[in-house]
Structure 1
Amino acid sequence: MADRAAVLAELRAELAAMPTAATAIVPTLPALAAFADVLPEGGLRRGASYVVQVSTTLTLALLAGPSQAGSWCGVVGLPGLGAEAAAATGVDLTRLVLVPSPGRHWLTVVATLVDVLDLVVVHPPSPAYDAEARRLAARVRERGAVLLVHGSDWSGCELRLTVTSSRWHGLGAGHGQLTAREATVEAVGRGTGGRRRATRLWLPDRDGQVRSLAQAAPADDTDARCVHAESPPSVSAPVLPFTGRVDALEVRAG
């Protein structure tokens, strides 16, 4: 209990020391234009929770819109998240709070971040009881924050977003360089009235940007391959784990 209190006290002190800017409270946090067809309100609704199934790239892309618009964001429970990958997707590292390993008190850590940040991403390291999830959801609504739950189901969420298929460009017969990825993103939930909404987008395009297919020039189709996984076939792009302070605040919880 003493360790928990010390960790939370440190977390609150770090958050209180962060610079803030006076901004008007708007009903939604802006999303990248690529998500216009799957987010009914054109952005992430304040007070709502969203589920992102499996895809870290999709999670970062949803984080990028609010981050670019000046919102403070947090990521809890993703120790392998690469700062370089986040920055390449458009996340502003100077407004990012990382808690890689929150331990068994992850719900308390998330609730603390919800009090002061606009958007919090969490990959739950353990299941949450329905009562705990409801209490956290109530806090998110009260504070007007947005909760993105990565890789885990969450009762009462506004939408569930999933990458259902991918097509990588740039690979030949065992050689070449990945240049772009086409992806189909589907959304279903209360925000869509229970109907599935889908869009095709670059995740990312050959310039490293997340855009709808209509927003970017097509990649070379010569060596395109269709896959249904988050990672390209037989190729592992280098990931730099975030293990220290790289233009971002990192807080470790025991």
Structure 2
Amino acid sequence: MGELAEFPLDGAERLSRQERLESLRRRMAAIPARGEAERVVVPVAVPADRLLPVPEPLAEVLPQGGLVRGSVVSVSGATSLLIGILASATAAGGHAAVIGHRRLSLLAAAEMGAQLQRVAVIPDPGPDPVEIAAVLLDGMDLVILGLGGIAVPPSRTRAVAARARSKGAVLVVVDGRWDGAQVRLDAQVSGYEGLEVGRGRLCGTRLSVRAQGRAFPARTTRMDVCATRTRIEWMHADRGDSSRRPDRPVAL
């Protein structure tokens, strides 16, 4: 057997040969076998300027309190959550692009505080929306990509994810399959406010949101999307203030 690599000094003495062998065995045992589930990585604090803001109730289930620049996020379910992410990012001064998502309501985004002058919309990106998204990652803080039900090959997702990292943009993918997303969000409608039997108007929507990522286990929270006199607001479902309850229809 050839010579083992030198280990750093431990105090004043080098490790013995037996200790070095034991250390190597422990390192080899820690390597996951093929097919074994990946270990959960402990999240590292990210500076505030490396985060895109999100609605407050969602921020509390994300380990960093926002979407990390350079990451890919998969969103499914109720479109309200996607609109809230767009509104939060542009209200904070960010620029965004929406590609191939015809059902996203810009009126609702504006009522949530979105700055529409910072939003570029490409409703019909042609046969290759992924390529359009890859180009727009250069110069945008947030790119929302509607996949139209397609599954993107892993080799392609890795290349686009690498571009998002290098440009410091957040790519949000919806309506399709994208393996390797760092964060997955799913929002389901769990109730409404303002409706009476046979009549009434919709004034609030309650969402159940599940967040899961590579660096954190699944977390679920409930939040209300409520219309006040001047705008649409996000509130914690379990901490709603009755004085801020909706008083007009929600344009979602």
Range class of TM-score, shorter chain: 0.7 to 0.9
Letter in 1 for 2:207: A
Cα shift at 1:190:
0.8
Q: TM-score under structure 1 normalisation?
A: 0.72
Alignment match of 1:67 (pick from 90, 112, 135): 90
Structure 2: runs of 5+ lacking an equivalent: 1-46
Matches within 5 A, 1:157-236: 157-192=181-216, 195-202=217-224, 204-207=225-228, 208-213=232-237, 216-218=240-242
2:168 is aligned with 1:144: yes
Mark the structure with the bigger radius of gyration: 2
Matches within 5 A, 1:10-25: none
Cα shift at 1:109:
0.7
Letter in 2 for 1:142: S
Deviations 1:90-120 (A, max 9, x none): 2210100101011112111101110110110
Q: Secondary structure at the match of 2:198?
A: coil
Paired with 1:147 and 1:31, the residues of 2 have a C-alpha distance of 14
CA contact (8 A) 1:64 1:92 kept: yes
Deviations 1:209-249 (A, max 9, x none): 1222356424899xxxxxxxxxxxxxxx877xxxxxxxxxx
Q: RMSD over aligned Cα, in angstroms?
A: 2.5
Question: In percent, how many aligned pairs have the same letter?
Answer: 32
Alignment match of 2:50 (pick from 20, 27, 43): 27
Higher relative contact order (CA 8 A, sep 6+): 1
CA contact (8 A) 1:164 1:183 kept: yes
Alignment match of 1:154 (pick from 171, 178, 189): 178
CA contact (8 A) 2:190 2:208 kept: yes
Aligned residues: 199
Deviations 1:29-81 (A, max 9, x none): 12221212221101110110111113211111112211110000110011233
Q: TM-score under structure 2 normalisation?
A: 0.72
Paired with 2:178 and 2:243, the residues of 1 have a C-alpha distance of 36
Moved beyond 4 Å, runs of 4+: none
